[in-house]
Structure 1
Amino acid sequence: MQKKWVMVTGADRGVGLSLVKQLLDQGYHVFAGQYQQENDNALGQLKASHKERLQVLQLDISDEESVKLALDAVSAVTDRVDILINNGAILGDIQATVQDELDFAEMEQVFRVNTLGALRMSNGLIEPLLLSESRLIVNISSEAGSIGACRRTSWYAYCMSKAALNMQSQLIHNQISEQGGKVMVIHPGHVQTYMQGKLDTTGSLTPDESARHILQLVENRLKLDDVEQGLMLTDYAGNVLPW
């Protein structure tokens, strides 16, 4: 049986780490993009127990050279990647409004990660993806990127970068759907993560719960033969959100 490979970015902790764990449990081979460089970490522990089924790659998706090195490492192992999960993201300032002093340099970095980082990965892996059976790109977006549902007065970097990710997803969908490719755009829910620098205990979902929902949506999508299905922004439960 041919190996099934999945690439997950932002796999150090939170939803990304939970996705890696559950994908391994489902029998996938996984490339896990690791941004932080601690020696004693959860990915290292997973690697020890899963050996060749988990490849941990140092990966800063905002950096062109880092992405190139990671992609070279992927191509050294396989010529096909079945699923790319663009999960890596940062938050940026969520307090400042248009009447405050805005940190534009920080905003640019958020875009380099959340929007351009995902595009770097999709661009770099598009041919291995289209050679696979699944041919699926999963972009982890957010309800914060929904213009139709927006009620915020701040979160400039995060909201705008996720809205741009949604547009990116549509552009890619328009291209690869003609070649059997599929794109999903998923809001993972309000998750208990460390994106604000400390654990957000107000989140209604644990990372494991969010990842389980996401992978169920992925499984459902892979079962559909209709590659022409229109692209939608959905939440972790499958509810459609306005663009």
Structure 2
Amino acid sequence: MNSILITGCNRGLGLGIVKELLLLPNVPKYIFATCRDQSKAKELQELAAKHSNIYILEIDLLKYSDYANLVQKVDEITKGEGLNVLFNNAGIAKWERSIDDIEAENLLSIYETNSVAPLLLAKAFVPLLKKASKANEKKPMGLERAAILNMSSRVGSIDDNTSGGLYSYRMSKAALNMATKSLSINLKEEKILCVTLHPGWVQTDMGGANAPLDVETSTKLLVQNVISFNEKHNGEFYQYDGKQLPW
């Protein structure tokens, strides 16, 4: 892929994905890494200082009016070549264990961050994704052409829910899964791949120290698998190691 934009790169999985992209045999020419506050993304800044293909872009993803400026910046930097991959990684969580823990404010804020923002950002970047797809029309559907990758979670699977609880997070990821499925249908004619991904239970601020996976293991396998995705993967739900998950 020539270009990729990843949201939520100040730490955790987003930062890990940036690091793994730098290790690919064919490193992307443009790696756009977004964060809310660049001053707090020290490690990302250090990477960008060493690699001229990393562009740090500040944005609060809940300020939808700023999306147009973000798209314009990417378009200018890529010199009209479009964007190959939009990776919606940024997300938040609240771990309610029972129905008594539910609060309207949490339900709404987590839904907005995890479901609404990724879909609206995808909408904003569709023109650049279409441009990249057309420029690479001889290539099959995949990341070398154009793709939207949405970071979901296995707990967003309705079929896999056997323990209940986690209402706000489960609901937000189930909604993101549905959005991805619809995108895969609506953008199929444009040959834009759309998939939803589960990174595993990872040792991040969100996943906690007891998680069985470290960031490097999760992101390494995730990147290795998604770069091989093609038309048969469109509109489906996959784990970091390539295993397909039930909706």
- Structure 2-normalised TM-score? 0.87
Report the alpha carbon displacement of residue 201 of structure 1 after superposing the two structures with TM. 1.6
Change (3 A) 1:96 1:36: farther
- Which amino acid is the alignment partner of residue 88 of structure 1? A
Report the alpha carbon displacement of residue 128 of structure 1 after superposing the two structures with TM. 0.9
Counterpart in 1 of 2:180?
Answer: 169
> How many matched pairs?
231
Counterpart in 1 of 2:141?
Answer: none
Report the alpha carbon displacement of residue 90 of structure 1 after superposing the two structures with TM. 0.3
Between the aligned partners of 1:206 and 1:39, the Cα distance in structure 2 is 22
Between the aligned partners of 2:40 and 2:162, the Cα distance in structure 1 is 41
Counterpart in 2 of 1:10?
Answer: 8
* 1:238 and 2:242 correspond: yes
Between the aligned partners of 2:159 and 2:85, the Cα distance in structure 1 is 29
Between the aligned partners of 2:60 and 2:2, the Cα distance in structure 1 is 24
* 1:157 and 2:168 correspond: yes
Between the aligned partners of 1:176 and 1:232, the Cα distance in structure 2 is 14
1:24–1:30 contact (8 Å) kept in structure 2: no
In the TM superposition, what are the counterparts of 1:148-227 in structure 2 within 5 Å?
148-195=159-206, 200-221=208-229, 224=230, 227=231
Counterpart in 1 of 2:96?
Answer: 95
The 4+ residue runs of structure 1 with deviation greater than 4 A are none
Report the alpha carbon displacement of residue 167 of structure 1 after superposing the two structures with TM. 0.3
Counterpart in 2 of 1:58?
Answer: 58
Identity %: 27
- Structure 1-normalised TM-score? 0.89
Change (3 A) 1:126 1:96: same
Change (3 A) 1:127 1:14: same
Counterpart in 2 of 1:147?
Answer: 158
Cα RMSD for the two superposed structures? 1.8
Q: Which moved more, 1:119-128 or 1:64-73?
A: 64-73
Change (3 A) 1:104 1:169: same
Report the alpha carbon displacement of residue 38 of structure 1 after superposing the two structures with TM. 2.8
Between the aligned partners of 1:40 and 1:169, the Cα distance in structure 2 is 29
1:188–1:214 contact (8 Å) kept in structure 2: yes
CA deviation vs aligned residue, 1:79-123 (integer Å, no higher than 9, x gap): 31111111000002x13522x152211221111111111112211
